[in-house]
Amino acid sequence: MHKGSFIAGRWDQSGPAVLEVTSPIDGQCVFSTPYDPDHADQAIAAARKAAPAWAALSRAQREQALRRVQTELAARQEAIAQAITREIGKPLWEARGEAKGLAPRIDLTCGSISADVADWDLPNGVGRGRYLPLGVVAVLGPFNFPAHLANGQILPALLLGNTVILKPSEKGAGVAALYTEAMAAAELPPGVFNLVQGDARAGAKLTADERVDGLLFTGSTRVGKMILAATNQTPNKLVSLEMGGKNASLVSEDAELLGCAKELLHAAFITCGQRCTATSQVFVHHSKIDELAALLKRALPKLPVGNPFDDSTFMGPIIDASAKARLLGLNELSKSAGVETLCAANDLGGAGNFLTPSLRVGDWADHDYFTNEHFGPDLVLIPIQDDDEGLKLINDLEYGLAAAVFCEDQSRFDVLASRLRCGVVNWNRGTAGATGQLPFGGWRNSGNHRPGALFAGRLVTAVQARLHHGGSVSGFVEEAMRS
């Protein structure tokens, strides 16, 4: 049993229910905590109470508080990495990379992100633009990056004067508890940062409550649309949605295939394909597809799948048994779409949720296999006649998060990228890579045009325009004042 929720600077272990986190490695319970959906209401009240005093501090004063958080996150780096592996099944080497990036994110937040939302003045003192905090911001985090993605939203929100409520995925509750321990040890004022553990009911309360001024969600398109429906009568609430993807790569006839194959293997199968930016389909010039398929088919079985605590493991388990069953079902679903399987998904047995990655090839069709996000280690190669056909097929998809173009000429890439309706387009690099030095967000069913990363400060602030001194009033007014 752990400490429960964290509200107004105190841990609250009350609640009628217990949340248990089952490890995908062996099916054992690795974390449990009491919870109460009503903790969401208490956290909102605490955050609203703390908001005026926190917003009244200067940005420099709030940065001092975040520097204490930075020290505490660094001290818990290994513990957080271990928890990510236990709860999510992410290989420890990868989990350590996620945990290692938490504390340095404060440097980015206080640097480039802060600079992006700097106040500015008009010439001659005519006026000024100011970025003000929204107020209370709720962060609804995903399971696949249980620390990194929430951290990238929480830190800018705090720096820019908001109070925060974190509702993590139930599958990463222990990771969120460790993260919150760092916040508690940094001694932020009570109510400035709050943690609400629990199931979807807590998230629904945060979504519906008009006292929450900003809602930052990362997760599936299905849930994102439910959030939009639940908030369509609260225009005062800024809603940022980072949703799913059906991410594609375009391989042109002049692509260098060995480097391309390496990038595709990484982007499709790292984190067991459980990334919103993972590559799931590759549109390949017909003259290149046989050679590329041969390269991938030869290498794919060599990717080590197994215990994520083993340093030699590339892929650990899928997050849960239902996800594993769904992904194994792609063997039949792809067959019904007329797709040839080169490497099938196979259940590795045992108590964990382990399966092998799959590789397929076939002509594109308007079929669930090609149009739905599967969120797992499955990759299909699709032949195309030319770049135009590939662009059309990618743009016809409902999603628009990430894409990659493999070609030799950068000017050709620039032309192709400008025609892709995606928020992230990489050149000779897989879709799974991103940087906090650029905006990050999806279009169409992958997001609502509110990118984060470098632009994260824009998600948690409102711009206020201020005109100074006397303006140019109407002559009628001047005459009336002389009368």
- Residue positions annotated with a catalytic role: 242, 276
181-207: buried (b, 16+ CB within 10 Å) or exposed (e) per residue?
Answer: bbbbebebeebbbbbbbbeeebbbbbb
Tokens 């609260």 identify what position?
234
Q: Within 10 Å of residue 434's Cβ, how many Cβ atoms? A: 16
List of residues 6+ apart from 122 with CB closer than 8 A: 128
Q: For the purposes of burial, counting CB atoms within 10 Å of the CB of 28, is it exposed (0-12), middle (13-18) or buried (19 or more)?
A: exposed
Please give the backbone phi and psi of residue 137, each rounded to the nearest 5 degrees, phi first. -115, 130
Q: Which of 392, 336, 340 is nearest to 361 (CA)?
A: 340
- For the record, the structure tokens of 111 come out as 């640097």
Distance CA 389, CA 377 (A): 25
E-assigned strands of 144-237? 163-167, 193-195, 214-218
356-391: buried (b, 16+ CB within 10 Å) or exposed (e) per residue?
Answer: bbbbbbbebeeeebbeebbbbbbbbbbbbeebebbb
Asked whether 138 and 215 are in contact (CB, 8 A), the reply is yes
Asked whether 251 and 282 are in contact (CB, 8 A), the reply is yes
Three-class DSSP category at 361: strand
- For the record, the structure tokens of 265 come out as 């293997």
Distances (CA, A) of 172 to 36, 41, 152, 154: 17, 22, 16, 16
Asked whether 349 and 305 are in contact (CB, 8 A), the reply is no
DSSP state of 110: I
Q: Within 10 Å of residue 35's Cβ, how many Cβ atoms? A: 26
Asked whether 137 and 37 are in contact (CB, 8 A), the reply is no
Instruction: Give the CA angle between residues 11, 52, 454 to the nearest 5°.
Output: 85
